[in-house]
Amino acid sequence: MRDKRMSLDDVVGELRSGMTIGIGGWGSRRKPLALVRAILRSDITDLTVVTYGGPDLGLLCSAGKVRKAYYGFVSLDSPPFYDPWFAKARTAGEIVVREMDEGMVKCGLEAAAARLPFLPIRAGLGSDVPNFWEGELKTVASPYGDETLIAMPALNLDAALVHLNLGDKHGNAAYTGIDPYFDDLYCLAAERRYLSVERVVETEELVKSVPPQALLLNRMLVDGVVEAPGGAHFTLAADDYGRDEKFQKHYVESAKTPEAWQQFVDTYLAVSEDEYQAAVRRFAEEEQ
């Protein structure tokens, strides 16, 4: 079986400007932020992003890499809740958004996963969601009755980026926290699927470590595996670690002035992932 291990920068080497990229996790929970940081180090830009948004979308907006965003919400999940860089991109009119109900994101990924052009859904009717979509979102009439529903288009992805707790070198992988989120759906909806994990272990150890129901991804769903301990930081990656609330607040504070943000970039973003993790450890020590 193929050894799919890659580096973060190898993954980014397979991505291209203009791609539609789905980012797993949820809000500030188990986001593949090491992969996002690798994109920030690259010259990839003009991205269309599909996400249950958190600081992943914020960080990409901070570097002007997002052209269009499809999302159910954007939240940091703890005060001040609203992501500062997403807010700046929005109020400056820098990104085109296809905002939708949270359930529509799941529905659109499921349509793509099943290679269907759309799936009917009730959510979105009567709201401003169709207006956000500027003609891209249609309705469909039932052939069995009088109901007219939203025809949620497939959210087909060029690439998916997800972070799980444990995986093998072939792409089998598990979550160890309480919620799988939608990471399997992102992989099912994508052409190229990139997984980062806290630890790469032998298959035998993986399947002994978790109940079978937690084995969210199989080999068919993954093209590349990156070992990235702390790869979801500063979002949570239960059971490995909780959210780094202090660091997330530091991210939010740093977005407030160009000077503070330049310092944040120099310390945490214009550096390798190893240097990021070392700088984060120093931050934690200084905060104690």
Partner 1 sequence: MTITRAEVCAVACAEIFAGAGEIMASPMSPLTTLGARLAKLTTEPDLLLSDGEARFFAETPALGRSAPIEGWIPFRKVFEVVASGRRHVVMGANQIDRYGNQNLSAFGALQQPTRQMFGVRGAPGNTVNHATSYFVPKHSTRVFVEKVDIVSGVGYDKVDPANPAYRFHHLHRVVSNLGVFDFEGPDHTLRARSLHPGVTADEVAENTSFDIAGLAEAPESRLPTDEELRLIREVLDPKSVRDREVPQ
Instruction: List residues binding partner 1 (CB under 8 A).
Output: 26, 53, 71-75, 81-82, 86-87, 90-93, 96-97, 99-104, 106, 121-129, 131-132, 145-149, 178-182
End-to-end CA distance of the chain: 46
Tokens 């799919």 belong to which residue?
4
Structure tokens at 133: 């979509």
CB of 44 to partner 1, least distance (A): 24
CA distance 286 to 288: 6
Q: Which is nearer to partner 1, 86 or 261 (CB)?
A: 86
CB of 46 to partner 1, least distance (A): 18
Q: Which is nearer to partner 1, 40 or 121 (CB)?
A: 121
CB of 51 to partner 1, least distance (A): 11
Q: Which is nearer to partner 1, 158 or 253 (CB)?
A: 253
CA distance 100 to 46: 21
Q: Which is nearer to partner 1, 17 or 81 (CB)?
A: 81
**Spatial contact of 85 and 102, defined as CB atoms under 8 Å apart:** no
Q: Which amino acid, one-letter code, is at 184?
A: D
CB of 99 to partner 1, least distance (A): 5
Q: Which is nearer to partner 1, 178 or 220 (CB)?
A: 178
CB of 123 to partner 1, least distance (A): 3
Cα 226 to Cα 55, 75, 89: the distances in Å are 20, 26, 30
CA distance 197 to 225: 7
